[in-house]
Amino acid sequence: MSLFGRPKGKKYHTRTIEVSTYEYDDQRFAIEGCLTDRRFQKYHMETGGWRQPGILHHMKVYWLINKKSLIIKDLHVEMPVVPGEQCNEVIGFISPVKGLRISDGFTSKVKDLLGGSKGCVHILELLIEMSFSTIQGLVAYKQQGALTSKEDIIKLAENSCWPWRSEGPYIKLLKQTE
């Protein structure tokens, strides 16, 4: 942390999220997401008892997604490390995500399906990050071949962030050169 100088106190927690995109076959990508929470100090669990430092959450989500439609065709969840056995019950609630399309409104749909007591905040966060990373993976894939059409670029990127807003410089540039 160079902005504030080197922290002088103990390190307590680190969360890492890693998402990878792989070509699966001609029609689909395989997306693998992993969320890990690591504790660095001995701590007291709210449900009782003390825990030693180590991994608190280690959760993985795999999905197959159609390259053209961006529809999630298959989905698998693993939770190798969780604070309590009850956490694994959430795996059965995630199937409604299968069939959703990665597009505007995906985050809201997933929050409606799995938010709060209907699911797991950690899996929810991982699914949302995977949706953003899926778009990045798709763009990386498309940039390996012939140039993607301007219409496709606009469709994927418009309103995804400040420079890519409808009135922003990148969209304006693409629309001017059509």
Q: How would you write the pLDDT of the chain (178 residues) with one tens digit per residue?
A: 567 888 888 999 999 999 999 999 999 999 999 999 999 999 998 888 899 999 999 999 999 999 999 999 999 999 999 998 999 999 998 999 999 999 889 999 999 999 999 999 999 999 999 999 999 998 888 888 766 778 877 877 788 889 889 999 988 888 886 5
- Do 164 and 134 lie in one domain? The reply is no
Residue 24 lies in a domain: yes
**Number of domain units in the chain:** 2
Q: In which domain, by residue range, is 151 found?
A: 147-178
- Do 138 and 152 lie in one domain? The reply is no
- Do 153 and 81 lie in one domain? The reply is no
Residue 4 lies in a domain: no
* pTM metric for this prediction: 0.86
- Do 139 and 158 lie in one domain? The reply is no
- Do 29 and 64 lie in one domain? The reply is yes
Q: What CA–CA distances, in Å, run from 178 to 42, 88, 146, 149, 157?
A: 60, 51, 17, 10, 16
* Two tokens, residue 120: 């797991």
* Two tokens, residue 116: 């709060």
30-73: pLDDT as tens digits: 999 999 999 999 999 888 889 999 999 999 999 999 999 999 99
